[in-house]
Amino acid sequence: MTDSRRILVTAALPYANGLAHMGHLVEYIQTDIWVRFQRMLGNDCLFVCASDAHGTPIMIRARKDGIPAEEIIEHYHRRFQEDFAAFHIRFDNFGSTHSSENRELVNLIYGRLQSGGHLQSRTIRQAYDEKEGMFLPDRFVRGTCPRCGATDQYGDSCESCGATYAPSELVDPISVLSGTRPVERESEHLFFRLSEFEDELRSWASGGALQDSVRKKLDEWFETGLQDWDISRDAPYFGFEIPDLPGKYFYVWLDAPVGYMASLLNLARRRDDIDFESYWTPDSDAELYHFIGKDIVYFHALFWPGVLQAAGFRVPSAVFAHGFLTVNGEKMSKSRGTFITAETYLQHLEPQCLRYYYASKLGPGVEDIDLNLDDFVLKVNADLVGKVVNIASRCAGFITRLADGHMSAALPEPALHDQFVAGAVQVAESYETRHFSRAMRQIMALADRANQYIDQHKPWLMAKEDGRETEVQAVCTQGLNAFRALVIMLKPVLPGLARAAERFLGENEWRWTDIEQPLLGRRIEKFKPLLQRVDPKAVAAMLEASRATMENTRPSTPSTEELMDEITIDEFRRLELRVARVSKAETVDGADKLLRLTLDLGDGQRQVLAGIRSAYQPESLADRLVVVVANLEPRKMRFGTSEGMILAAGPGGEDIFLLSPDSGAVPGMRVS
RNA sequence: GGUGAUGUAGCUCAGCUGGUUAGAGCGACGCACUCAUAAUGCGUAGGUCGGUGGUUCAAGUCCACCCAUCACCA
């Protein structure tokens, strides 16, 4: 193919400090589908990624665990590779930002920024933990909000009133590392003069490189004015030391995007057919796309193109941002078992099912998507098994039995095949524009057409009549070709299914254009189920396993709270603890921390006002069993009387965990 | 707090620049069929399009305000 495009695609770098989970997979699956589609078209499309190895969190963890940071990042690097491979995410290279190539490129870029006069040294004041001997990022300082007085807030903004401020403005600030009060210290930092590139960035941003909503977001930043970007950090830090500034390191967000280049360089050094330079020169004919989450638009749509320009490289052709993942309509939650790691999923479910489900929900925009597990089961079973695979399943038997496995030499209804060929053009358009949900809808509409066709011709009736074998064979050949076209269209999403179908039909490595020519006269293999239905029990088991794993691995917050004075058993018995069922849970107007619960204690209802709204949605509580202090003196509150207290553990905020009895307990039972 | 995004049938989502009785898939219900991994086909029921107010001959679609959710504020 002479007019094939040269494309370099990246997915954001996973941080090497935790396992890949369902949220990560949205992005890698989205990107992988797009890349596989490009390859099926015959384009020269490279897909690189890397683990993101630097920064404060990894440094601190290494310190705490007393092991080298290299060991941590190496561990997660390997786990990422295993997980991604299992989900059929096929990178051309998966590198690390802690690599010689990255160091080389970061230094090269640094040199160019320096000689181009794009850097400036400035003294800043920052919180410093004297006990730990290190400067503290804003998130590592907590204290009381200077505006609303909420306690235990981060150093950059208040979650309660939304105020933003500097850590030094906090009332009673403490370091989360040592618990001591930080002091202010001065330090020399290097700044990248981003504002010099405002004009270039503006025209790049309005030139089609960004989605509309992302562009609007950038406009907003342009309005407020671009500020210079602090690219250095003080030791101790895990990263690359700045060559001529001992004790200073490059900020992780400087070297992370360079990691995209480094990963390609690492690959190019092993492969003769890849010319690294040609991808990065300002006049490069290659396309460069970054798939990212909407939370890191800032780094990819401002800093990164700014740095690239300053260093004399090309800018990205486009940045594609996607939304966040919720599970069952809520943020992933460890306590609800919806914080599902890739590994836990793999132990219970088939990876391609997730690929299909995500594909059926992903569009070109930045909207969040929801992994609704009930919907997941229904959709995968109905679409993939019931519609698509079923077509092969219901046709293959006849071909095998009545025609010795041979398909007919011609299609009885070429017009139907033409519909599929025409449909494939639409589907391709949808893939290209990352409108995967539309692609899946278009494909399923075609699958419906195929099933209708088979129903109209009823091969199972003809098969009972003598002498109509040829007709049955023809109808089923038509059906199998419909199936073949559908699976080719689904191949970017379901590569494993496609490979199995290729073997079943005796073919190899389908490309997109293979849809056009029907498969005729071919001897097919005996049909074997190509994909199993999803068992809802497996989903339930996965949630249960997630919950269990998270409880085990959840870092037990070192309980610094002292135990209270001893009490006697009689004193304890004065507590009347009862099992209760939540019969109603609702929010309370005017109170953003409370939920009004109506509890069934077996012998009657009572109302309890509980301060758990930050951790629980009212709907999630209905019918659940809790433990209540039943003989607590009723308390009048502004919003009504609270007649008891429900038991929960945790420090507060999102970390509140209701206690619940094992199954078998019924409302009214005494807890002792 | 500021800014951006989102809010359409039980569920998941389409609805381009405003224009006939608001669409699909799944689920539910009914019928048909039995080749197929209890799959498939046909049909029925279900929504005053988050709320309030406005612009217009006409608004899910434009404007204002409000509510809820998500994100960002370097």
pLDDT digits (tens, 9 = 90+) for A539-549: 999 988 888 77
**Longest alpha-carbon distance in chain A:** 94
Higher pLDDT, A152 or A304: A304
pLDDT of residue A218: 86
| pLDDT > 50? residue A558 | no
Question: Which nucleotide shows the minimum CA-to-C1' distance to residue A161?
Answer: B1
Average pLDDT over every residue of A6-26: 93
pLDDT at A15 over 90: yes
For residue A159 the two structure tokens come to: 């979650």
pLDDT single digits (tens) A335-391: 667 789 999 999 999 999 999 999 999 988 888 888 989 889 999 999 999 999 999
Chain A residues 517-546 with Cβ under 7 Å of strand B are 529-533
pLDDT for residue A638: 60
Asked if A81 contacts A23 with a C-beta cutoff of 8 angstroms, the reply is no
A333 vs A117, higher pLDDT: A117
The set of strand B positions with any atom below 7 Å of a protein CB reads: 1-6, 11-14, 24-27, 33-37, 39-42, 70-74
- The answer to whether residue A1 scores a pLDDT higher than 50 is no
Closest residue, CA to C1' of B74:
A229
Distance, CA of A119 to CA of A228 (rounded, Å): 9
Taking the CA of residue A291 and the C1' sugar atom of nucleotide B12, their distance in angstroms comes to 24
R_g over Cα of chain A: 30
Distance CA A439, CA A446 (A): 11
The predicted pLDDT at position A630 comes to 80
Concatenating the DSSP letter of every residue in A387-434 gives IIIHHHHHHHHHHHHHHTTBPPSS-S-HHHHHHHHHHHHHHHHHHHTT
Q: Quick one: pLDDT at residue A641?
A: 75
With a CB cutoff of 8 Å and minimum separation 6, the contacts of A112 are A310, A311, A312
User: Does nucleic acid strand B have an atom less than 7 angstroms from the CB of A133?
Assistant: no
Decide: helix, strand or coil at residue A186. strand
Q: Is the CB of A478 under 7 A from strand B?
A: no
| Nucleotide closest to A158 measured between CA and C1' | B1
Q: Give the nucleotide at minimum CA-to-C1' distance from A330.
A: B69
Can you tell me the mean pLDDT for A285-304? 92
The answer to whether A278 CB is within 7 Å of strand B is no
Q: What is the pLDDT of residue A617?
A: 65
> How far apart (Å, rounded) are the C-alpha atoms in residues A439 and A430?
5
Determine the nucleotide nearest to A331 by Cα–C1' distance. B70
| Of A189, A199, A190, A201, the residue nearest A307 (C-alpha) | A201
Given this model, what pLDDT does residue A554 score?
Answer: 38
Distance, Å, A509 CA → B72 C1': 43
**Which residue segments constitute the domains of chain A, with CATH numbers given?**
6-114+208-343 (3.40.50.620), 119-192 (2.170.220.10), 376-515 (1.10.730.10), 567-658 (2.40.50.140)
State the nearest residue by CA to the C1' of B38.
A386
A460 touches strand B (CB under 7 A): yes
Burial A361-390, CB ≥16 within 10 A → b, else e: bbbbbbeebbbbbeebbebbbebbbebbbb
Measuring from the CA of residue A217 to each C1', which nucleotide is nearest? B4
- DSSP class per residue in A655-672: EEEE--PPBTB-TTPEE-
Q: Is the pLDDT of residue A277 over 70?
A: yes
Average pLDDT of chain A, as a whole number: 87
Q: Which tens digit of pLDDT belongs to each residue from A310-324?
A: 999 999 999 999 988
* Chain A span 389-428 residues with beta carbon within 7 Å of strand B: 389-390, 393-395, 397-398
CA distance A596 to A577: 19
Rounded CA gap, A524 and A388, in Å? 18
The residue type of A157 is S
Q: What's the pLDDT tens digit per position in A485-531?
A: 999 999 999 999 999 999 999 999 999 999 999 999 999 999 999 99
> Any idea which nucleotide's C1' is nearest the CA of A228?
B74
d(CA A440, CA A362): 10
Q: Note the pLDDT tens digit of each residue in A179-218.
A: 899 998 999 999 999 999 999 998 898 888 888 888 888 8
pLDDT digits (tens, 9 = 90+) for A57-85: 999 999 889 999 999 999 999 999 999 99
pLDDT for residue A338:
79
Per-residue confidence band for A553, with pLDDT thresholds at 50, 70 and 90: very low
In A 561-620, which Cβ lie closer than 7 Å to strand B? Answer: none
Q: How far is CA A78 from the centre of its chain?
A: 19
Q: CA A105, C1' B13: Å apart?
A: 44
Q: Does any strand B atom come closer than 7 Å to the Cβ of A222?
A: no
| Contacting residues for A511 by C-beta, under 8 A, at least 6 apart | A40, A41, A42
pLDDT over 60 at A651, yes or no: no
From residues 61-80 of A, list those within 7 angstroms of strand B by Cβ.
Answer: none
| A454 beta carbon to strand B: under 7 Å | yes
**Whole-number pLDDT of residue A557:** 34
**Amino acid A561: pLDDT:** 37
Q: Is the CB of A144 under 7 A from strand B?
A: no
Distance in angstroms (rounded) separating the CA atoms of residues A387 and A551: 39
CA of residue A427 to C1' of nucleotide B18, angstroms: 29
Q: How far is the CA of A26 from the C1' of B10 (A)?
A: 26
- For B27, nearest residue by CA–C1' is A378
- Nucleotide with smallest C1' distance to residue A298 CA: B74
**Percent of the residues in chain A that have a pLDDT greater than 90, as a whole number:** 59
Amino acid letter at A395? C
Task: Give percent of chain A above pLDDT 70.
Answer: 90
| pTM assigned to the model | 0.82
The confidence score (pLDDT) of residue A655 equals 57
CA of A376 to C1' of B15 (A): 24
- Chain A, 308-337: which CBs lie within 7 Å of strand B? 323-324, 326, 329, 331
pLDDT at A627: 85
**Spatial distance between the Cα atoms of A124 and A187, rounded to a whole number of angstroms:** 5
pLDDT of residue A51: 95
Express each pLDDT in A130-164 by its tens digit.
998 999 988 888 888 777 777 777 877 776 666 67
- Note the CA–C1' distance, A560 to B20, in angstroms: 70
Residue-wise pLDDT for A102-116, tens only, equals 999 999 999 999 999
Predicted local confidence at residue A592, as pLDDT = 61
Give the per-residue pLDDT at A354. 94
Reported as type and span, the H/E element at residue A444 is: helix A436-457
Distance CA A420, CA A615 (A): 49
